[in-house]
Each structure stands twice: as structure tokens, then as C-alpha cells.
Amino acid sequence: MTPARRLTIAALCAVALAVPASAQPAKKPAPAPPPAAAATPATNNGNVDLAYGAYQRGYFLTALAEATKRAKQNDPAAMTLLGELYAHGLGVGRDDKKAAQWYKLAASHGDRNAMFALAMFNFEGRAGPRDPDAATQLLSEAAKLGHPAAQYDLGLLYLQGQQLPQDEKRAAELFRKAAAAGNPEAQYALATMYKQGRGVKKDIVEAMRLMGEASVAGNVDAMVEYAIAEFNGEGVKKNEAGAAQLLLKAANRGNPIAQNRLARVLMSGRGMPANPTEAIKWHLIAKAGGAGDPELDLFASKQTPEVRAAAEKEAKKWLANTPPRPRS
């Protein structure tokens, strides 16, 4: 994946020094919202941006027609939206070369969203050979213009020492800017750096403050770490009940660590009432996701056949109805 949202920052921090300088970010899924989403959705006369409004509602042919009109008037946001439509085949056949042409034109007009999108194209090798150097330059330009995702991705490159000299302080600075703009991955990344004392002075309280923000914003890994800290009262006020609820939320989002911790909560009755059936259910689900636990295996073996059967039935139902969580 690219220098990017799906990369688990805690793992990255642990292996950054070991990443070969020649290693390149791999391909990541295209973002759901278009790069044009950050553009001001208004025309010069103050009317609602018909092109982007149509895009949001799924009227891609209308979005294409309206954006084409505005692009002829040298509107960079419209150019970026056209790039997005061609990049994902929305209302037109997917055409990476045309998408890149529109992104390049919009970028030449100073559109930071187009710069970011074009950087992703260069990392992925869409519409031409992969060019990580050009991609990094585009990320840098977009980051200077305040693009939060570009700041985060550029920070990862500094943290990894890929394309750029390894510089943890610079990475932390970029994460801080992106975090202040509300980017949950950057909040999580910076929290991890404060927790470990990398690039910044170690500060568990600040780490948990940022971890809490990332958790509220929906970062599942942050939910798990914040819940564990809250359960133990480490860097944040101890709250076993609140931690248990957050673990439940992350468990339902498919995080094996959260599922394992939730099973332990339900086994011990700390944070929520003890429930052997639910404890074994979540243990089995966590185990299927790679988070085994001998203590929970022993606990399950001591329960009645009826409890184990009920737990197995519920676990199978949950696993059958829940798509597997993408691996980082």
C-alpha cells in the first residue's frame, strides 16, 4: 500500500529502521471521497456547485457534464473532479491516462487535491511507469498547501526513510499538522510517537489525548489502544466500563485484539457483567482472526457443553455475516 492510511503505524514505528531504502509503497484502494471533496463547492456566482453536488448524489453523468463546462473556464476543482470520474470509471469508462491529464492540469493551477491524487498515481504506476520521486515531490507540494492526507503520507515517508532521509522529528511535525486538521490516522501516528518518545518527548498523557481523538474519529486501532489505557488507567482516567464498551465497538469492527480483550472482560466480569457464552464466542472469533489465548482456551474447556455449543453457534454466525478485516 502507498505511504498511507491502511499502514499500521505502531508496527511501522517498530520496523522503520529496518525498511530497505529501495522499498516502495504498494498499491492502496482508491479513496471513497474524491480529491475534489476538499474544494469549495461553490461557483463564482455563489450558487451550489452543481458538478460536485451531482457527484455526491451519484449522478455521475451530470457531474461529468457540469465539471466539463467549468473546466473550460479554468476551474481547477472541476478539473480535479473530472480526474476523479475518469480514475474510477464513474459516468465514463475508466481511463487512467485521461484522469492523470486532468489531475496534472488541475495541479498546474495549484489544486492541492489534484497534486495528492497525482502523487498516488505516481506511486501506483497508473497512467505510466511508477515514479516515487515525482510522487514524493507532489506530496510535498500538497502538504505545503495544507492537504492533511498528504502531510500524513509525507510524514510516513520521513518516518520510514523512504524517498526521503529518515527524520522522526519532521515526521512528527507533519503528523501534528494533519492531526490538527482532524486526520485520524495522523492523530494515531502522533499518539504512538508520544507513547514511544520517538521524534517527540515521551508523554503518555498527550499520547492518550490524541489516541482518544483518533478513536472518536473512528480509527479502530486507536479505539483498542485507548480502551486498554482506559481500562488500566494509563495516561487517562481509569474507566473499566467505558473501556469495555469501546472494546465492544472495536470488536464488532473486526479487530482481533479487541475481540480477545473483550473476551477477557466477559470472562472476568470487569467493565461489564461476566458472561461465559459471550466470552467464549469472542475468544473463538478472535482466534479465527489470529489472536489465540491459552488462558481463554482453558476457561472454555471448563464450561458446560451447552455453554460451549451456544458460544460456537454464535461465533459461527458472527463470522459468517462479517467480512474479514483488511490486513494492514
Q: What are the beta bridge partners of residue 42?
A: 48
User: Does the structure show a pLDDT above 60 at 25?
Assistant: no
Instruction: Report the distance separating Cα 71 and Cα 79, nearest Å.
Output: 5
pLDDT, residue 325, reads 66
pLDDT grade, residue 324 (50/70/90)? low
Residue 30 has what pLDDT? 31
Q: Mean of the per-residue pLDDT values for the chain?
A: 87
Q: What is the mean pLDDT of residues 62-77?
A: 95
pLDDT of residue 326: 56
Mean pLDDT of 227-255: 97
Question: Has residue 328 got a pLDDT over 80?
Answer: no
pLDDT above 80 (res 76): yes
pLDDT at 93 over 60: yes
pLDDT at 162 over 90: no
Terminal-to-terminal C-alpha distance of the chain: 9
Please give the pLDDT value at position 9.
34
Q: Which of 108, 110, 36 is nearest to 78 (CA)?
A: 36
CATH numeric code, 9-196: 1.25.40.10
The DSSP bridge partners found for residue 280 are none
- Looking at residue 186, what is its pLDDT? 98
Q: Is the pLDDT of residue 116 over 50?
A: yes
Indicate whether 6 pLDDT > 50.
no
User: What are the extents of the domains in the chain?
Assistant: 9-196, 255-321
Confidence at residue 277, expressed as pLDDT on a 0 to 100 scale: 98
- Residue 135 has a CB neighbour count (10 Å cut-off) of 26
* Nearest Cα to Cα of residue 78 among 108, 49, 100: 49
Which residues 6+ apart lie within 8 Å of 85 measured at CB? Answer: 55, 60, 63, 64, 67, 91, 92, 99
Grade residue 127 by pLDDT with cuts at 50, 70 and 90.
confident
Over residues 243-264, the pLDDT tens digits come to: 999 999 999 999 999 999 999 9
Indicate the pLDDT class of residue 327, thresholds 50, 70 and 90: low
pLDDT at 61 over 60: yes
Taking CA atoms, 235 is separated from 7, 132, 212, in Å, by 25, 39, 11
| Mean pLDDT to the nearest integer, 74-87 | 96
128-157 tens-digit pLDDT: 999 999 999 999 999 999 999 999 999 999
DSSP states of 279-298: HHHHHHHHHHTT---HHHHH
pLDDT tens across 188-199, in order? Answer: 999 999 999 999
DSSP per position, 16-67: GGGS-TT------PPPSS-GGGGS--B-TTS-B-HHHHHHHHT-HHHHHHHH
Categorize the per-residue pLDDT at 282 as very low, low, confident or very high, splitting at 50, 70 and 90. Answer: very high
Average of per-residue pLDDT across 231-251: 98
Q: Which residues, in sequence order, are CB contacts of 170 under 8 Å at separation 6+? A: 155, 158, 199
